[in-house]
Structure 1
Amino acid sequence: MTQTTPSGRVLIIAGSDSGGGAGIQADIKTVTRFGAYAATAVTAITVQNTLGVSDVHAIPAPVVAAQIRAVLDDIGADVVKTGMLATAELVHAVADALDASGFKGKLVIDPVMVSTSGDRLLADNAVEALKARLIARADVVTPNLAEAAVLTGRPIHSPFDMARAGQEILALGARAAIMKGGHLEDETVTDLLVTADDIKSIEGAKIDTRHTHGTGCTLASGVAAALALGDDLPTAFVRARGFVANAIAAAPGFGKGHGPLGHATADVPEGEGA
């Protein structure tokens, strides 16, 4: 019997959301819905619901690194996706663990800094570490407008600003940036895939809803899952963005604040790796 190399494995390195709408929980739901396999290394435990984050407990860096080693030494991963890393110590621990493992797959960095409800999720002194240790080696970075502004030092008010910020993120070493325009004051949502060779733009009508908790995590995990299943980056971008729109439309309506998406029932757009 001939053994084949497994594919479709995503290692998610991120924080836990007790409300289930974002973080590790949204990541697992998304990767599973795409048909890929999700393994995890939990970086922090948050106490949160749709109204906000009331407490954060960072997991000790050696424990995070041990989780990463345990997965990569046995199951392996085609793609590593990072989310909430909380502290500079955790950023360094993740980068060191990936180096020590000899990881050769793709790296998707969601530079989680602020929650949908406005709570800070990354220490100020961790931003430079994130840039130098992880963004510099990323295959794709997926910032929202506020995160892109922190990474580049520029306010972002238009798709033109988004494109310029994406190019500046590429200058940090990343191979690509997906710039999410959902927070622009506009009737439409414009998202960009910025690479050294091209800028791909997708526009869609803005959905009038408060149920948008975890959209960033979902997009990044959709990209990671699609890449792990064999899609190229432009296809992964289109499929992940479509899934987010479908999941917003399928939101179950839970909670009194920014509610979770409908991961379980949302359709996954077809693609080359589907």
Structure 2
Amino acid sequence: MSGQRSKSVLLIGGMDSSGGAGLLRDAQALEQAGCHARVAVTAVTAQTNRGLLASQPMAPEMVAAQIRAALACGPIRAVKIGMLGTASIVAAVAEELPDLPIILDPVMATSSGGALLDYAGLSAMIAFLPRVLLLTPNLPELAVIAAHLGPETGTIEASARKLLAHGAQHVLVKGGHAEEIAATDLLFSADAQPVPFTAPRIPKSLRGTGCYLASAIAARLAQGAPIETACAEAKAALHSLFTES
């Protein structure tokens, strides 16, 4: 465990006062995977399990300062990005991050529908895609990003490949919003068939699953796992956690 502990992941995202999502859920995923978390807070939110009450983005200069401080503490093996909020914060993150494996969970809204990314921020996030190793949208996020890039494509695969064409190296489309009995995530990569990761659907309302999954993937990539293995192990860890809780 001590060797794994030396693997640090930088978490960039928002604080959720309920503890159900955001950086606290990210840190839980790293802790369980045996990695160390460093953190840059992009926003502070007041949330309950029912909804978003308030959200305050950090000044971009403060986000940049946090990233510089985290990087100064020693090597970072991977970066997981969640809530960004505004175009100016996206720009600050892009300016400060060196060339590292970046997992971007494109957080646009809370589970209850509260907005967490503005229109200009979405455009800036899309411009950031060439820096991203893995993008992890759920089905509604995939539809919004794909529509922002042009006319609707009609299929999950066509939408995912549109994001690959705009620079993301891999896209993991999460199937939690689908209606099938099992929950299947699909990993898309250029010039390859999609790779499915399936687990039984958990029969209850959940928050923070996307945060946990992306951070669990980042932890395994930091520990040297190939991307397919990282996705499979993170999916299994997510299912185990939320079926036991």
TM-score, normalised to structure 1, is 0.83
Structure 1 residue 50 and structure 2 residue 45: aligned?
no
Q: Which of these residues, 239, 244, 250, is aligned with residue 244 of structure 2? A: 250
Instruction: Kindly indicate whether residue 200 of structure 2 is the aligned counterpart of residue 205 of structure 1.
Output: yes
Could you list the per-position Cα deviations for residues 46-68 of structure 1 after superposition, in whole angstroms to 9, with x for gaps in the alignment? 00011111000111110000000
Larger deviation, residues 79-88 vs 199-208: 199-208
Match of 2:116 in 1: 121
Q: 2:65 is matched with which residue?
A: 66
Instruction: Give the 3-state SS of the residue equivalent to 1:46 in structure 2.
Output: strand
- The answer on whether the counterparts of 1:149 and 1:156 sit within 8 Å (CA) in structure 2 is no
- Give the letter for the 2:126 counterpart: K
Residues 5-24 of structure 1: pairs in structure 2 closer than 5 A:
7-24=6-23
Shift of 1:74: 2.5
- One-letter amino acid of the structure 2 residue matched with residue 167 of structure 1: R
2-side partners of 1:7 and 1:232: how far apart?
19
Q: How far apart are the structure 2 equivalents of 1:75 and 1:162?
A: 39
**CA root-mean-square deviation:** 1.6
2-side partners of 1:12 and 1:188: how far apart? Answer: 29
Q: 2:107 aligns with which of 102, 112, 136?
A: 112
Cα distance change of structure 1 residues 118 and 181 upon mapping to structure 2, 3 Å threshold: same
> Does residue 142 of structure 1 match 2:141?
no
Q: How many residues align?
A: 238
Which residue does the alignment assign to 1:132? 127
Map of 2:159 onto structure 1? 165
Query: Counterparts in 2 of 1:169-184, with a 5 A limit?
Result: 169-184=163-178
Letter in 1 for 2:233: R
Cα deviation code 1:195-225 (max 9, x no counterpart): 1123101223212112x10000001000000
Alpha carbons 1:113, 1:122 under 8 Å: kept: yes
Please show how residues 94-109 of structure 1 align to structure 2 within 5 Å.
94-98=93-97, 103-109=98-104
Note if contact 1:83-1:111 (Cα within 8 Å) is conserved in structure 2: yes
The answer to whether the Cα contact below 8 Å between 1:7 and 1:228 also exists between their aligned partners in 2 is no
Q: Deviations over 1:16-58 (max 9, x none)?
A: 0111111000000111110011100000000001111100011
CA distance in 1, matches of 2:153, 2:80: 25
Q: Give, in whole Å, the separation in 1 of the partners of 2:226 and 2:6.
A: 14
Runs (4+) of structure 1 exceeding 6 A deviation are 154-157
- Segments of structure 1 that go 5 or more residues without pairing to the other structure are 252-274
Matched, 1:220 2:214: yes
TM-score, length-normalised on structure 2?
0.93
2-side partners of 1:249 and 1:144: how far apart?
Answer: 20
CA shift digits 1:79-99 (9 cap, x unpaired): 01100001111001110111x
Kindly provide the amino acid, as one letter, of the partner of residue 41 in structure 2: V
Q: Which amino acid aligns with 1:204?
A: A
Query: What SS does structure 2 have at the residue aligned with 1:51?
Result: coil
Corresponding residue SS for 1:126: helix
